[in-house]
């Protein structure tokens, strides 16, 4: 690594060549204030707050864009620098309405922090009194143009991170505005409501509707957990105050998503209107009546104990944690010798012999072949990565008989009948990658195998924790015929059970472990409340095989328990010899995933 010698504030520093003055200063713990700069985004030098005095340069230079070179002498807080920063702040404050007491983000605002730091105690210039519009057409977030400082973080996030290219700048000079598409409202635009722009906005220009005025940052707690809405397993931060969830934010340090989330992960769980199951419910004279956990366990032990192995069926949702799936396999398969165990969603076949690739590889490929998967709808963060690769010059081939939301971005879209043509094109590429889902046809699977040698591949499982379920032997081979006892771990999954229950004998005893009341719980004989995403603990395995922890941010509603806790207690009551420890689950799972 080439190094250069520079001096910052009279301190001699040896640093690597190719980085910026700002990065070099940060590595040394020297604080240079920034506003438009964001570690996850490219630098544009739009706000001029990070200006520094570099000896020999005609003007003050923006440290976020100025590369280090040998012999640079830099002053970061000299009087001319401070004077200039105050001028920049005076100008920023004079444009639009930056009056803090009106603003939801007061107390969590980077512009306000800078105002405090540099003692901006009045407006140096007449303020701009023109009112700018507020765009409230998006369901989940607000764009308050009066608070915008045109730092373009949102524009860059939309371009560089999500690759959706909805946001841009329009007009010129003091009329410059952030706008969506060709200056239409956010609600009508191509915005996919991933909310990444709200997460990077330094001021109160973009903020969540739901958590507005419910508490500034210093009053809230942030708990890191893993999103359980699809099989990507994005790292998230659950923002809570007083036991209430206010927001979900992407975790910038997360290994899979690096801060990104989608609408499904960031917003939809907060708007879930389904009614919770708050306590165990037992059918008594055709009606479900609340009972204690003790009674519920007594009934379960009796029912499970009296059913024969070949008359018992278990169905799990892939929302289940690794721990719950492990316990099902220990209790039902190993101990009770039940073989009729299935998943509520399909499982993708293993086509290639080699280890599957990671999402990080998508951006390095030149041809992306998506077969019978619709990531833009089902695993949106994966579609961000695909679109990011397309921006870098990769081409997308889609083989799918259904409508695919990535189709507008594709180089070619084909039906599954044309799989050989797609394979032929992908085969000519230097670095192709194949992504396929659980609905892949046998014919396609056979054809894809031809790419084994040269292509990387990623299986995009349809359920959240399907990868772990597959590893624990849940293969989807469930049959409802002749069942006397059915245990369904439904969790948060939407499942009306219509098709299923029709085939299950009417006299079968049905135990449903569910977070929400549903048509399935209405027909159950025993309903057990399950903690939801914000309440549960345990771990999940994403479709790459990456095991990540779940942390509880708020107390479970009513008497709900994490899915695995109930199964652990049940297992203990049935057989004391079934030992359970989270470490053993993870160790066992790691072995199975290899």
**Which region, judged by CB under 8 A, interacts with other proteins, from 15-23, 110-118, 418-426, 556-564?**
110-118
φ, ψ of residue 15 in degrees (nearest 5): -140, 170
Note whether 79 binds other proteins by CB under 8 A: no
What is the C-alpha end-to-end distance of the chain, expressed in Å? Answer: 35
Least gap, CB of 97 to other proteins (angstroms): 7
φ, ψ of residue 422 in degrees (nearest 5): -60, -40
Find the binder of other proteins among 119, 173, 243, 273 (CB under 8 A).
Answer: 119
**Which region, judged by CB under 8 A, interacts with other proteins, from 3-11, 104-112, 340-348, 490-498?**
104-112
**Nearest C-alpha neighbor of 42 from the set 160, 144, 166, 164:** 160
Find the binder of other proteins among 102, 292, 308, 498 (CB under 8 A).
Answer: 102
Note whether 56 binds other proteins by CB under 8 A: no
DSSP 8-state code for residue 398: E
Q: How many residues bind other proteins (CB under 8 A)?
A: 20
Reduce the DSSP state of residue 458 to 3 states and report it.
strand
Q: Is 56 left (phi over 0), alpha (psi -120 to 50) or beta?
A: left
**Which region, judged by CB under 8 A, interacts with other proteins, from 100-108, 151-159, 226-234, 352-360?**
100-108
Note whether 94 binds other proteins by CB under 8 A: no
Q: Would you say 121 or 499 has its CB closer to other proteins?
A: 121
Q: Would you say 117 or 402 has its CB closer to other proteins?
A: 117
Note whether 175 binds other proteins by CB under 8 A: no
Q: Would you say 128 or 252 has its CB closer to other proteins?
A: 128
Binding flags for other proteins, 126-155, as an x/- string (CB under 8 A): xx-x-x--------------x---------
CA distance 324 to 561: 12
Reduce the DSSP state of residue 162 to 3 states and report it.
coil
Note whether 379 binds other proteins by CB under 8 A: no
Contacts of 399 (CB under 8 A, 6+ apart): 369, 370, 371, 372, 414, 415, 416, 418, 419, 422, 444
Q: Is 96 left (phi over 0), alpha (psi -120 to 50) or beta?
A: left
DSSP 8-state code for residue 559: T
**Cα distances (angstroms) measured from residue 204 to each of 34, 141, 147, 199:** 16, 11, 6, 11
Tokens read off for 303: 């029912």
**Which region, judged by CB under 8 A, interacts with other proteins, from 1-9, 29-37, 124-132, 192-200?**
124-132
Find the binder of other proteins among 29, 56, 79, 101 (CB under 8 A).
Answer: 101
Contact by Cβ (8 Å): 310, 445: no
**Which region, judged by CB under 8 A, interacts with other proteins, from 31-39, 112-120, 398-406, 451-459?**
112-120
Q: Would you say 220 or 404 has its CB closer to other proteins?
A: 220
Reduce the DSSP state of residue 179 to 3 states and report it.
strand
Q: How many residues does this entry show for the chain?
A: 594
**Nearest C-alpha neighbor of 273 from the set 494, 100, 528:** 494
Find the binder of other proteins among 58, 122, 294, 594 (CB under 8 A).
Answer: 122
Please give the distance of CA 291 from its chain centroid, rounded to a whole number.
36
Least gap, CB of 120 to other proteins (angstroms): 9
Q: Would you say 38 or 98 has its CB closer to other proteins?
A: 98
E strands in 192-256: 206-208, 221-226, 235-241, 244-250
Least gap, CB of 148 to other proteins (angstroms): 15
Note whether 411 binds other proteins by CB under 8 A: no
Residues 513-532 that bind other proteins (CB under 8 A): none
Find the binder of other proteins among 71, 80, 123, 431 (CB under 8 A).
Answer: 123
- For the chain, what percentages of helix, strand and coil (3-state, to nearest 5) are there? 30, 20, 50
Compute how many other C-beta atoms are within 10 angstroms of the C-beta atom of residue 280.
Answer: 27
Note whether 212 binds other proteins by CB under 8 A: no
Q: Would you say 99 or 411 has its CB closer to other proteins?
A: 99
Least gap, CB of 29 to other proteins (angstroms): 20
Contact by Cβ (8 Å): 54, 66: yes
Least gap, CB of 240 to other proteins (angstroms): 23
**Which region, judged by CB under 8 A, interacts with other proteins, from 109-117, 135-143, 425-433, 449-457?**
109-117
Q: Would you say 220 or 318 has its CB closer to other proteins?
A: 220
Least gap, CB of 106 to other proteins (angstroms): 5
φ, ψ of residue 582 in degrees (nearest 5): -55, -35
Q: Would you say 220 or 372 has its CB closer to other proteins?
A: 220
CA distance 433 to 451: 9
**Which region, judged by CB under 8 A, interacts with other proteins, from 102-110, 260-268, 391-399, 467-475?**
102-110
Please give the distance of CA 527 from its chain centroid, rounded to a whole number.
30
**Nearest C-alpha neighbor of 470 from the set 303, 308, 356:** 356
Q: Can you give the C-alpha Rg of the chain in angstroms?
A: 28
Find the binder of other proteins among 7, 26, 107, 335 (CB under 8 A).
Answer: 107
Q: Would you say 111 or 451 has its CB closer to other proteins?
A: 111
**Nearest C-alpha neighbor of 522 from the set 244, 170, 220, 286:** 286
Q: Would you say 123 or 411 has its CB closer to other proteins?
A: 123
Q: Would you say 117 or 337 has its CB closer to other proteins?
A: 117
Find the binder of other proteins among 62, 76, 112, 365 (CB under 8 A).
Answer: 112
Q: Give the pairing type, strands 367-371 and 73-75.
A: unpaired
Residues forming contacts to other proteins in the complex (CB under 8 A) are: 97, 99-102, 106-107, 112, 115-117, 119, 121-123, 126-127, 129, 131, 146
């Amino acid at each position: 690594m080439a190094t250069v010698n520079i001096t910052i504030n009279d301190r001699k520093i040896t640093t690597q060549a190719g980085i910026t003055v700002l990065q070099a200063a940060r590595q040394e713990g020297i604080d240079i204030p920034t506003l438009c700069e964001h570690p996850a985004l490219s630098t544009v030098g739009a706000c001029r707050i990070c200006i520094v005095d570099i000896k020999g340069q005609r003007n003050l230079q923006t440290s976020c864009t100025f590369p280090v070179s040998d012999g640079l002498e830099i002053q970061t807080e000299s009087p001319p620098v401070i004077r200039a920063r105050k001028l920049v702040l005076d100008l920023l404050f004079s444009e639009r309405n930056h009056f803090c007491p009106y603003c939801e983000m007061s107390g969590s605002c980077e512009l306000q922090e800078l105002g405090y730091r540099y003692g901006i105690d009045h407006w140096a210039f007449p303020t701009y009194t023109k009112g700018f519009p507020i765009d409230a057409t998006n369901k989940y977030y607000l764009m308050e143009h009066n608070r915008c400082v045109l730092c373009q973080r949102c524009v860059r996030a939309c371009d560089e991170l999500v690759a959706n290219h909805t946001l841009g700048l329009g007009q010129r000079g003091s009329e410059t505005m952030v706008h969506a598409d060709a200056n239409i409202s956010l609600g009508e635009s191509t915005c996919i409501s991933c909310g990444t722009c709200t997460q990077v906005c330094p001021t109160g220009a973009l903020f969540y509707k739901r958590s507005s005025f419910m508490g500034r940052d210093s009053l809230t707690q942030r708990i890191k957990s893993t999103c359980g809405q699809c099989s990507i397993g994005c790292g998230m931060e659950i923002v809570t105050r007083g036991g209430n969830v206010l927001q979900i934010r992407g975790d910038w340090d997360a290994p899979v998503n690096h801060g990104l989330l989608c609408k499904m992960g960031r917003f939809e769980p907060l708007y879930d209107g389904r009614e919770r199951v708050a306590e165990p419910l037992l059918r008594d004279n055709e009606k479900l009546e609340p009972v204690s956990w003790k009674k519920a366990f007594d009934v379960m032990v009796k029912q499970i104990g009296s059913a024969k192995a070949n008359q018992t069926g278990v169905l799990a949702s892939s929302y289940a944690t690794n721990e719950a799936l492990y316990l099902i396999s220990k209790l039902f398969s190993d101990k009770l010798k039940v073989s009729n165990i299935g998943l509520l969603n399909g499982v993708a076949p293993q086509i290639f012999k080699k280890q599957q690739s990671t999402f990080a590889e998508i951006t390095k490929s030149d041809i992306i072949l998506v077969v019978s998967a619709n990531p833009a709808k089902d695993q949106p963060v994966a579609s961000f990565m695909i679109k990011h690769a397309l921006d870098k010059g990769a081409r997308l081939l889609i083989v799918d008989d259904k409508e695919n939301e990535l189709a507008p971005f594709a180089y070619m879209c084909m039906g599954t009948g044309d799989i050989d043509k797609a394979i032929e094109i992908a085969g000519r590429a230097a670095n192709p990658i194949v992504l396929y889902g659980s609905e892949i046809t046998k014919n396609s699977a056979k054809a894809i195998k031809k790419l084994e040698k040269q292509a990387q591949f990623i299986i995009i499982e349809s359920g959240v924790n399907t990868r772990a379920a597959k590893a624990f032997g849940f293969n989807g081979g469930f049959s409802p015929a002749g069942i006397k006892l059915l245990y369904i771990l439904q969790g948060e999954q939407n499942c009306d059970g219509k098709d299923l229950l029709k085939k299950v004998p009417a006299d079968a005893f049905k135990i449903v472990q569910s977070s929400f009341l549903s048509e399935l719980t209405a027909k159950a004989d025993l309903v057990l409340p399950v903690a939801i995403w914000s309440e549960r603990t345990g771990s999940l395995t994403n479709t790459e095989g990456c095991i990540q922890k779940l942390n509880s941010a708020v107390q479970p509603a009513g008497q709900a328990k994490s899915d695995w806790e109930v199964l652990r207690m049940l297992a203990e009551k049935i057989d004391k010899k079934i030992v359970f420890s989270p470490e053993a689950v993870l160790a066992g799972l790691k072995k199975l995933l290899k």
